[in-house]
A = this chain, B = another copy of it.
Amino acid sequence: MASRARPPASPPEGPTSNRQLDPPSLVQLAAGAIRKMILSGELGPGDRLIELALTERLGISRPPLREAMRLLEQEGLILVQPRRGATVAALTDRDVYEILTLRSALERTAIELGVPVRLPERLAACREALGRMERSAAEEDRAALVESGYAFHAALVGLAGHRRIEDIYSSLHRQLLLCMARNLYTRERYYEDLDVHVARHRHLLELVEAGDPAAVLAELAVHGERSFSQLADRVPRAGKRS
């Protein structure tokens, strides 16, 4: 029975729980390892995840592995069918549509809630990410630009200090990476002009610093429009399939 008598020994305080300092459990490690296998393409969409095979691969036993798979299921990376095993999520066009629309909605909400920014360190995070983008563009490192571009958007979302939004946002990002591994989310697209791309983000940050949420949202709508265009075309009529 749970002990009601005991008051919470450690204060569950702290908007940002720093679990990084704790020695990671096998569950965390296993989840990370499998995530890496999936996102690197080592495991393709639809592939079965055999528990026994993975335990041998990772050198752990089944209980922590199973718990790790529960996590990945919640993250949307794998699909667990009650007694038929787990498979790597095979994202449909509909799934991509859901991910992109939800991601956009979260960004918008975060801006609305956080844009007259109160905590300077959050703005600093955005600037830092923008700096990485500029460096990546200067070096014409497109992979790094994509990476830092996400970091910038994540920092933008972080302006609101809304932990739940941040968590979901990063979860969606992982699923999006899954799409890229699948090449559904065409990789060749990238960005036509690196400098224009960075400039657009710089402008975005300037609007944020000016403290005008509406302007940021307007820019963000145009901003995202290019990324969405070809994906949006794939699912012109939302909900038609179910």
Binding site for B on A (CB under 8 A): 1-4, 6-10, 12-13, 15-16, 19, 22-23, 25, 43-44, 46-50, 53-54, 56-57, 63, 66-67, 70-71, 74, 76, 79, 81-84, 87, 89-90, 92, 94, 98-99, 101-102, 105-106, 108-109, 113-114, 118-119, 160-165, 168, 237-242
Contact = CB atoms under 8 A, between A and B. Distances in A.
19 contacts: A1-B50, A2-B43, A2-B48, A9-B84, A10-B84, A13-B92, A15-B241, A67-B67, A70-B70, A76-B164, A101-B113, A113-B238, A113-B239, A114-B238, A119-B239, A160-B238, A161-B238, A161-B239, A162-B238
Given A70-B71, A90-B12, A165-B102, A44 B239 contact: no
Given A82-B22, A92-B13, A4 B44 contact: yes
B46 A8 contact: yes
Given A82-B19, A239-B118, A2 B164 contact: no
Contacts of A25: 82-83
